[in-house]
Amino acid sequence: MAQAQQYLDYMYEEVSVSLYGTNSSSDSEFIEKQMNHYENITIQCHSILHTLDYVTTHRKIFETLKIAMI
């Protein structure tokens, strides 16, 4: 999970530098739309990672309780 988080952060920085590094006044609207789109994807990925972490944690708890009940 931590590696996926680091990768998302790295890619966000790479895309940001790449887009803004070639910024001209005619491209600013395009760049803004691309960054907004990328931010939305990043937020969705963070949400998925959080959900997976939650499920994994609770699955471990459930397995522990199930073993304890036997």
Question: What are 31-58's pLDDT values in tens digits?
Answer: 777 778 888 888 888 888 888 888 888 8
pLDDT for position 3:
76
Environment class of 49 (CB within 10 Å of its CB; exposed 0-12, middle 13-18, buried 19+): middle
Structure tokens at 67: 């073993």
Q: 20, 19, 22, 9: which is closest to 49 by C-alpha? A: 9
What's the pTM value of the predicted model, to 2 decimals? 0.48
